[in-house]
Every structure is written in C-alpha cells, then in structure tokens.
Amino acid sequence: MPLPRTQSTFVSPIVESRRWVAGADFPPDRPLLNVSQAAPAEAPPEGLRQALAEAALNDVSAHLYGPVLGNDPLRRALAQQMCRHYQAEVLPQQVGITSGCNQAFAAAIAALCGEGDEVIIPVPWYFNHKMWLDMASVTAVPLHVGDGMLPDLAAAEALITDRTRAIVLVTPNNPCGVEYPSGLVQSFFSLARSRGLALIVDETYRDFDSRGGAPHGLFQMPDWDSTLIHLYSFSKAYRLTGHRVGAIAASADRLFEMEKFLDTVTICPSQLGQAGALWGIENLHHWLAGERLVILDRRLAIEEGFPVLAAKGWKLLGCGAYFAYVEHPFDQPADQIARKLVKEASILMLPGSMFMPEGDPDGARQFRIAFANVNRAGIHTLFERLAAFNP
C-alpha cells in the first residue's frame, strides 16, 4: 500500500535542527551561535512597516480575497524592476505573485509534471525542493556538482530521459553560496530548450549577488518564457519572511496552469504582504543596496578569516550570498558532529547530509554555514570555536 505523500519525504532540516537546541542551556560565556538558517532576523524598515499598518487600517481590500496571481500594481512594478535588472523585456502578464518562493516552485512542478516524471536538480540541493518533489511523486534526479560546486552540462545531458520535464538551478546557490557564471546558466538554457524541457532558475538571493548588473542574459533570449521559469522571493530583499510573498515569471500559458494550483492552496497571496512588497520596490532601492553591501562584507569576512580553519584541515568549497559550504577534517560523519557542536561548542549548523541523497558520502564530510545574520565579530567567534573543536 503506498505511503501518504508526506511520509514519502524527510523532516525539514530546519525543523529537525531546532529540536537539537530545544530546552538546551548554553554557558553565559558561550552563547549559541545559530548559523543553521539565514532568513532575515530583523523587522523591515520603519517606512515599510508603516505602509503595512496603513494598509491594514485604511484599505478594505487588504482584508479581502484578491487575484490568484497577485495584484496588478505589484505585478507591473516587479515586471518593470526585472526589465531594469536584467536589461530585457518582461511583461506584467508574464509575472505572478505567490505565497513565498517555495510555493512558486511547487506551482511550477504542478504545472509541468505528472506522477513518475523526473526533474534534474544539482546536489547538494535545496532541501525544500527535494521535499516537494517527493510529495508530488516526481523523481528528483541528482546532478552531482563538480569543480567550484558548479553543475556540469554534459553530466546533466546524460541524465535526461523521456520522463524528464525540467532542470533546476539555484543561483546564488543554496546551500553552497556559489554564483553560477552567466555562460553556464546560458548553456543550461540552451540544453533545456533543445530537449523541450523547462529550466527552473531560483534566484531567491539575486539581490545579494556580488556581480553588478544582470547575472545572466536569459530574459534577453527570444521567447524566453517558452523555456525559462524564474523564481524570486521578496522575503530576503525586504525582510518579509512572515508575510510569505514570492514571485514567478513564465509564459502566460504556464501561469494559467499554475493558477489552478495556487487557487486550491492559498486562493491568493497575502494582501498585506503584497502591499509591503510593492512599497519596497518603489522606495527601498537604496536601502537594499546597503543591505547587499553588508552581506558582501560578511562574505569577505568568511573568506578572510577562513585560514584559521584551513590550518586545521577544513576546506572552503563555496561562498556567496547568504551561505558558505565547507568540508570538515574529522573521521566522524557530519550529522554526528553537528549534534556535538551544539553541546560542546554552542554552534548550530546543518550537516551536508541534509542536502544530499541518503547515504551520499560527500554529505558526511560537509556543512553549510548560513552567515547572513552573523556580523564580523560573530564570524570570528565562530571560526575560533570551530578551530578549537575536536570531536
């Protein structure tokens, strides 16, 4: 008898790791350093909070159902922002608003795949992508990354079968942090187009890319929307995680199919969240540029400070946006070390096994460090504790 859909997948690593620290006491001189999740930990800027409050108090529509694919003013504003960012033409009817970027991915898979179909995803993977594919009875075909934690085009092509429906890329990457070169992303687009597949590109962290200007030219391709499905999140840009506002860009035909899924799950995105996202697009360009510089400086602190760990046998495999991805030097597997780090070093970080197929030996050697909420002093303390740690 088949298992219920939720039993076909694993427990979210974020949920699992929170159990490791639940009820734990940490010494006053060694408080917990939480580098397990990099979601913004502070409230949005005051002006955005004021816009949310005014919408809640004065706009009746903020409390009612809205269009399934999002409010027209936000769709127009996001399309215009994308035109500027990618130096290309993106139309409002090619943009939909979702209840977070995870839902955008789920909607894309629902519109593309049937039970037993296949989707190629680079490994290490973003765990929620794998979880949703499991629950949708879609086979996640792992594409192990190579040098520089980058996916290999030839290896991806070799994985394509008659059941393949899409290839997924996440750039800047979660969990590895690396920024995929424009030429590599373009090559995957060309491969997907030549084989009649969709290319799903999750750019949740695009606002914290170290490169200036458009990170790729996919939106400049003729009929880009026949191949590309682009995912985005307002959560990281404007600290709107709790309001659940994401976005998707695709062809009008594909959005029509996704609308069926979205209508049965949330009916419409949060009205207050959309008000906040719209205000952010219209007013927070310079503020967001400053936030990007903060994240880039923390990335630099990781790179500058890493020699103290390298001297102990650690390796920095990838770094960028919100994440660093590292290899540890110990004989024990990462999942065991992770629990010891909580107890013995007051560090909470996720083992690579949470981003890998079960039993993958690479996962036992690796960790993700989510550094976006840790300042330079905190990064220095993190590295001091890791350098002193010996399981």
For the chain, the domains span: 5-43+287-388, 61-283
pLDDT tops 80 at residue 212: yes
Rg (CA), the chain: 21
| Mean pLDDT of all residues in 171-185 | 97
Residue 293, token pair as written in the block? 């510089």
Looking at residue 335, what is its pLDDT?
94
Q: Do domains 5-43+287-388 and 61-283 have the same CATH topology?
A: no
Query: pLDDT above 90 covers what percent of the chain?
Result: 91
Given pLDDT bands bounded at 50, 70 and 90, which one contains residue 351?
A: very high
CATH topology of domain 61-283: Aspartate Aminotransferase; domain 2 (3.40.640)
Residue 224, token pair as written in the block? 């880009």
The mean pLDDT of the chain is 95
**Is the distance from CB of 262 to CB of 92 less than 8 angstroms?**
no
**Is the distance from CB of 81 to CB of 128 less than 8 angstroms?**
no
pLDDT tops 90 at residue 172: yes
Nearest to 117 by CA among 108, 104, 125, 126: 108
**122 has which bridge partners?**
143
CB atoms within 10 A of CB 203: 24
* pLDDT per position as a tens digit, 55-69: 999 999 999 999 999
Given pLDDT bands bounded at 50, 70 and 90, which one contains residue 16?
A: confident
pLDDT tops 80 at residue 2: no
pLDDT tops 90 at residue 14: no
Alpha helices in the chain (DSSP H): 13-21, 46-58, 72-86, 101-112, 127-135, 153-159, 182-194, 234-238, 252-265, 271-283, 285-305, 307-310, 334-345, 376-388
Q: Of 6-15, 168-177, 267-276, 313-322, which gets the smallest average pLDDT?
A: 6-15
Reduce the DSSP state of residue 162 to 3 states and report it.
coil
Residue range 5-43+287-388 in CATH 3.90.1150.10: yes
pLDDT tops 90 at residue 216: yes
pLDDT tops 90 at residue 12: no
How big is the chain, counted in residues? 391
Given pLDDT bands bounded at 50, 70 and 90, which one contains residue 23?
A: confident
Strand order in the sheet with 366-370: 315-320, 323-327, 366-370, 350-351
Q: Rounded to two decimals, what is the model's pTM?
A: 0.95
Nearest to 167 by CA among 183, 147, 151: 151
Looking at residue 391, what is its pLDDT?
82
Burial (CB < 10 A; 0-12, 13-18, 19+), residue 179, is buried
| Mean pLDDT of all residues in 279-299 | 97
**Is the distance from CB of 325 to CB of 354 less than 8 angstroms?**
no
| Mean pLDDT of all residues in 375-383 | 97
CB atoms within 10 A of CB 285: 11
* pLDDT per position as a tens digit, 256-284: 999 999 999 999 999 999 999 999 999 99
pLDDT tops 80 at residue 45: yes
| Mean pLDDT of all residues in 152-167 | 98
Looking at residue 304, what is its pLDDT?
97
